[in-house]
Structure 1
């Protein structure tokens, strides 16, 4: 089974994440896409993050009805900050029958050589890159393990959603209804 891995803070998960995962699961050679909730991204400050279990729960609520989308909390059990190569290696050891593919945005490709052991990622894993606008060209764009996927672009961000919640503005249609209800119920970002 070929499984795409979409790593992220998902603070909160939004329709852009869900459309991307669904597109990858149904319009590529992937059998499934797993959302890997990262407790702490080594390139981002953790002060604005909700608790990892709340973010995991929101992803779980959002993908509940889609059997091709899954969720993983493996990085919760790993040293922080978590590094993609360590998570990929752990998952490959745990599920040796699966073939894992890393899914990243085109905006991450120029900085990909700064990732811990990025060469090992490219030695052992394919990388599916979805489009993001306004990115400098990467020297990795012609690498044989890099595959560009023409997934739909939805210009929405978790930052925008958090800002809307703080300003008491609507986030309807930016997140699934169950996620919106959970955010309001827990009074996140107010």
Structure 2
């Protein structure tokens, strides 16, 4: 079984994440997508993050009606801050019967050369890239790389930051979240301050 790992803080998970995950699993050779909720991205400030269990609960609620998309809390059990290369090694060890691949936006591909042990990742794992509108260029070493596969997915210009700001400013952002996620966010009074 070929599993695509879609990493994110998912703060909150929104329909853009689901559109991309669903498109990737339906239009590539991936059998499943695991939405890996990251506790702390080394490049992001931790203060704006909801607690891990709340973000995982939202991913669970968002994906429970998609048979090929699953939530994963693998990184909650790893030392922090964590790096993708360590998660890939651990998850491959835990599930030796599965072939894992990395899913990332084109904006992340542009900074892949800054990732810890990115050469090791490329040596052992395939990367599936979805298009994003972002400044900068993809490093020449990643163009036409045999382990990097561009998937012609829709470009989704929705961000979790935009959603958090919308809620804080009392805007109606309901169409950008699945119904269960919106209900959870609303009930828990998240992002209002």
Q: TM-score range by the shorter chain?
A: over 0.9
For normalisation by structure 1, the TM-score amounts to 0.98
Note if contact 2:132-2:156 (Cα within 8 Å) is conserved in structure 1: no
Equivalent residue number for residue 189 of structure 2:
187
Residue pair 1:106, 1:135 contacting (<8 A) in 2 also: no
Contact 2:102 2:126 in 1 (8 A): yes
| Structure-1 separation of matches of 2:134 and 2:41 | 23
Query: Over aligned residue pairs, what C-alpha RMSD do you find?
Result: 0.8
Identify the residue that residue 145 of structure 2 maps to in structure 1. 143
Partner residue, 2:30? 30
- TM-score norm. by structure 2 comes to 0.96
**1:133, distance to aligned residue in structure 2 (A):** 1.4
Structure number having the greater helix percentage: 2
Q: How many residues align?
A: 190
Deviation per residue, 1:138-174 (Å, 9 max, x gap):
1212211111111111110000100011011111110
Structure 1 equivalent of residue 172 of structure 2: 170
Q: How does 1:13-162 map to 2 (within 5 A)?
A: 13-138=13-138, 139=140, 140-162=142-164
Gaps of 5+ in 1: none
Q: Residue 47 of structure 1: SS of its match in structure 2? A: helix
Partner residue, 1:6: 6
Q: Which consecutive unaligned segments of at least 5 residues does structure 2 have?
A: none
